Amino acid sequence: MKVRECMCNNVTWVKPTDSVCNCAKLMSNNHIGCIPVCDDSQNVVGIVTDRDIILRGVACDKDAKNTPISEIMTCKVCSCTPDTHVKEAQNMMKENQIRRIPVMENNKIVGILTLGDLAANPDVNNSEVTNTLEDICNCNKKNAE
């Protein structure tokens, strides 16, 4: 199965100059926990999660209305293509300890794949999704020790 069969095609994204506050509102309004950061040509230059906003923004006393998202985003972005096999995408999630992967085509964002998307797809083996999540969580526990 290919990523294109599971991914979300409706991607909300922000510009690096958008405020942390604006990004948080978009997350809240769209019920999402992650937003790609793109330049004017829709090239992904970073990614920000709800956790980034808490740990790199709120916990560091950043002014959410005046801090650009570029100050708290993760710059190293792991991505895949619509033609990537789902198992390969899951391996990327495990290796990079992430739950969401931007989907790129011709250097443009065309979707996002989440563990939730995989779990909700009846054609994806749920035990493999569970194993992926366990591996991500176990890596996070090891890194915290």
The per-residue pLDDT for range 41-55, each reduced to its tens digit, is: 888 999 999 999 999
Q: Which residue has the tokens 């964002």?
A: 109
Fold of 3-144: CBS-domain (3.10.580)
Kindly give the residue spans of alpha helices, DSSP state H, lying in 67-125: 86-96, 115-120
Amino acid at 125: N
Q: What is the pTM of this model?
A: 0.80
- Short-list 93, 98, 110, 142, CA closest to 42: 110
Q: For 91-134, how does the pLDDT look when each residue is reduced to its tens digit (9 = 90+)? A: 999 888 888 999 999 888 999 998 888 888 777 666 676 666 66
